[in-house]
Structure 1
Amino acid sequence: MRICYFGDGESVHIVRFCSHFKQLGHDVHLISFKNVKIEGITNHYINTGNITVSGGNWKVLLQAGKVKKLLKQIKPDIFHSIYATSYGITGALCGFHPYFITTLGSDVLISPQNSKLYKLLLKYAFSKADWIQTLAPHMSDAVLKIGSDINKVSVIPFGIDINIFNDKCRQENTDNFIITSTRNHEEIYNIPLLINALGKIKNKIPNLKFMFTGSGSLTEKFKELIVENGLKELTTFTGRITQAEMVKLLNETSLFVSVSFSDGNNLSLAEAMSCGCFCIGSDIPANKLWIDDNTNGFLVNTTDVNNLAEKILYANTNYNELQQLAKNINKSKIKNTGIWDNNMKKVEEKYFTFIN
């Protein structure tokens, strides 16, 4: 089967899709507005200038003609856009079938709320798609609200690679209580809430260490906020790290915190759970898929810094008891819905449905 993906070649999701289906023996192509090369994949680059995470990328819609020309050359069995706005809408303009769209989160949860034009364009894209993959039920609700045939929509989470993200090599640092954030440094991830909460309790956890991975447009502001809260000596900024380094860090982490305002299906949380971390998440639908409040983790309000501070203190004081309760629940949740290979088999079955 020849599959042509259409998406951001720098995105970990695109890399995972392309690499996975290549390993299964399929002929995989990628059309992208980012000039990157994925090993073993036939890459096709269309130069549109700078594309930003903050939006305003309407100019990519003007490239539909070039994408359509490439599709005539590639002749794929399946054309699949990853991310519903820029790539999904542009792909819909090409008129190719069978055409699939995978939504990732903010493309259907935030963009159409902020722009009536985006909502209209997404409705058009969904009308042209033969199948739409969402990562969670609340995302399917958003797609249907925008306007789509319910029979086109399936919930299939991405999931994690449990051969990589697991607790087989877990070695907690018993000298320190390590709190880790792995989210990117952008507004949607609400990282100041965590920094300010840590500032309130830093003197109440004597062995506190804060591991801060990732990068983004707000990195320098976050570093300033760390200093303002008296956390500089307790904090390690790692920047972007490799997958192997991420696994090692999570296996040393006591408490993982993700308090984003919005998420599709929080893979960062699933990775942490699978590596044996106790977790605190914001009280949003994506995190409720993984955390049962006060059972295998805590859910907190996205604006209540005192609530987050209290939960961190409670987790520190009652850590062993909480971990004992959470461990088996976390493993069960990952096994049921969080394994990448199992979920991608469902995607492959959907592909074959449309070409047979």
Structure 2
Amino acid sequence: MKVLFLSNAASIHTVRWVNALANRGHEIHLVFKKDDQPRDNEISNKVILHSLKYGGNKAYFTSAFELHKLYKKIKPDVVNAHYASGYGTLARIAKLKPLILSVWGSDVYDFPYQSKIKMNLIKKNLLYADKIASTSNCMADQVRKLLNSNSVDITVTPFGVDIEKFSRKNESQNKEKICIGNIKTLAPKYGITDLIKAVRILKDNLVKKGLREISDNIVVQIYGDGMQREEILDLIKQLQLEDTVELKGRIPNHEVPAALEKMDIFCLTSVFESFGVSAVEAMALELPVVATDVDGFKEVVENDVTGIIVQRKNPAAIAKALEKLVLNKETRLEMGKNGRNRVIELYDWNRNVDTMLELYKSIS
């Protein structure tokens, strides 16, 4: 099958989709704006790359003629545009068909509500598509809400994990330290400052209960980089957590399993998530997950089975859930095993790719 894949080549989500499809023997043409270039040589050489002439938001409009010419040259069996607001607009203006439009999150949760013009734009893009794909059921419901129709057919194509790569290679070792981890961009919507505040509360509560040794043995590892790095470093110093919290920096996706394997608890404090891929990755490594009550996490994490769901923007609630897991190793291990089983059942990447290919075949 010949696929024109229209998406940001710098995104790990794009990289994983095109690599998986190309490795299945399909001819994949990845098309992207000038400023969405691939990085870190992560894209397979089996994928054919096409960089458009223009970059920036204007390119979603000004690149239509160039893209249509490329489309006529490639003659794809199907077009898959990712991100309804940007590349969805470009696909519609360039008159690409048959079109599957994959929604990602902020394109349907945030963008439409910024103005009436943007709301109309999203609706046009969604209605132009032959099929719509979503990584989660909650985001599919959001699309139906935008279109004011509960009958819109949307295929859920979860962004799962390679369950072989994301598996525990070593049995948990008896160790004194208890590692709480997080892997996210250091940006406000991911609530990293709430995690830092929760750790301070957690340690203080343990000391008040006469458990200073346990408090002293807690370490926190946060992987990622972003605009809030300096603010977070300042908060760590302010709360006197320099010996507890470590900012490890950004790591490529292939290093994530090894980082997760060093952790005992995974803690996600986002104020918005349309799908919880980071929770899926942690659960695959048999980690219990403390996560905020945003739609994406509530769909992925089964409360009191694979982790604990807490109120967002509430450091005290986060601290309480962390304390429960810090003090109960058996609960951590049980939730971790349950999480791994849930990932195998629902978020096996190979089966997720099968679902996408079936969707392609249905309109090609």
Structure 1 residue 304 displacement after superposition = 1.4
Matched, 1:321 2:330: yes
Q: Where does residue 361 of structure 2 map in the other structure?
A: 352
Unpaired runs of 5+ residues, structure 2, are 207-214
Query: Which residue in the other structure is 1:106 paired with?
Result: 106
Matched residue SS, 1:31: strand
Indicate which of 213, 219, 232 corresponds to 2:223: 213
The amino acid of 1:164's aligned partner reads: K
Q: Secondary structure at the match of 1:102?
A: strand
Q: Distance in 2 between matches of 1:126 and 1:185?
A: 31
Query: After superposition, where does 1:142-153 map in structure 2 within 5 Å?
Result: 142-147=142-147, 150-153=151-154
**Kept in 1: contact 2:288–2:339 (CA 8 A):** no
Residue 332 (1) aligns with residue 347 (2): no
Match of 1:16 in 2: 16
Check conservation: 1:172, 1:252, Cα contact below 8 A. Answer: no
Q: How far 1:275 moved relative to its partner?
A: 0.4
Q: TM-score, normalised by structure 1?
A: 0.92
2: CA distance between counterparts of 1:229 and 1:272?
27
Work out whether residues 60 and 89 of structure 2, in 8 Å CA contact, stay in contact via their aligned partners in 1.
no
Instruction: Check 1:23–1:7 CA distance in 2 against 1; reply closer, same or farther (3 A cut).
Output: same
1:173 touches 1:253 (CA, 8 Å); kept in 2? no
Q: For 2:246, which of 236, 244, 250 is the aligned residue? A: 236
Distance across 1 between alignment mates of 2:228 and 2:53: 27
Alignment of 1:174 with 2:180, yes or no, is no
How far apart, CA to CA, are the structure 1 residues paired with 2:263 and 2:246?
13
Aligned-residue offset at 1:346: 1.3
The normalised TM-score by structure 2 is 0.90
Return the alpha-carbon distance in structure 2 between the equivalents of residues 201 and 148 of structure 1: 44
Residue identity matched to 1:97: K
1:54 equivalent in structure 2: none
User: Is 1:42 paired with 2:48?
Assistant: yes
Alignment of 1:123-162 (within 5 A): 123-147=123-147, 150-162=151-163
How many residues align structurally? 348
How far apart are residue 118 of structure 1 and its match? Answer: 2.1
In 2 relative to 1, CA 58–306 (structure 1 residues): closer, same or farther, beyond 3 Å?
A: farther
* Superposed CA offset, 1:71-123 (max 9, x none): 12221111111111111121121111111111111211222233332221110
The one-letter code sitting in structure 2 at the alignment partner of 1:134 is: S
What one-letter code is carried by the residue in structure 1 that aligns with 2:168? D
What RMSD, in angstroms, separates the aligned Cα atoms of the two structures? 1.8
- Whether the 8 Å CA contact 2:138–2:299 is kept in 1: the answer is no
Q: 1:311 to 1:99 in 2, by over 3 A?
A: same
- What is aligned with 2:77? 77
Q: C-alpha distance in 2, partners of 1:219/1:212? A: 11
Q: 8 Å contact 2:29–2:49 — kept in the other structure?
A: yes
Query: SS of the residue aligned with 1:181?
Result: strand
- Cα separation, partners in 2 of 1:344 and 1:78, compared to 1, 3 Å: same
Q: Residues 28-75 of structure 1, C-alpha deviation per residue, up to 9 Å, x if partnerless?
A: 1111112336322111112434x5xxxxx3553232222212212221
Separation in 2 of the partners of 1:348 and 1:148?
28
For 1:337, the aligned partner's letter is L
Bigger shift: residues 8-17 or 232-241: 232-241
Q: Which moved more, 1:25-34 or 1:291-300?
A: 291-300
Question: How many angstroms apart in 1 are the aligned matches of 2:3 and 2:340?
Answer: 33
Alpha carbons of structure 1 residues 301 and 192: separation in structure 2 relative to 1, 3 Å? same
Per the TM alignment, residue 134 of structure 1 is displaced from its structure 2 partner at its CA by: 0.7
Tell me the distance in 2 between the aligned counterparts of 1:267 and 1:35: 23
Q: Is the 8 Å Cα contact of residues 160 and 352 (structure 2) preserved in structure 1?
A: yes
Could you tell me which amino acid in structure 2 is paired with residue 46 of structure 1?
L
- CA distance in 2 between partners of 1:27 and 1:59 (Å): 25
Aligned counterparts of 2:250 and 2:96: Cα–Cα separation in 1: 37
Q: CA contact under 8 A between 1:7 and 1:32: conserved in structure 2?
A: yes
Counterpart pick for 1:312 among 309, 322, 326: 322
Identity of aligned residues (%): 25
Letter in 2 for 1:221: E
Once the two structures are superposed, residues 254-291 of structure 1 have per-residue CA deviations (whole angstroms, 9 ceiling, x without a partner) of 11011111212211001101101111000122112222
Alignment of 1:274-313 (within 5 A): 274-313=284-323
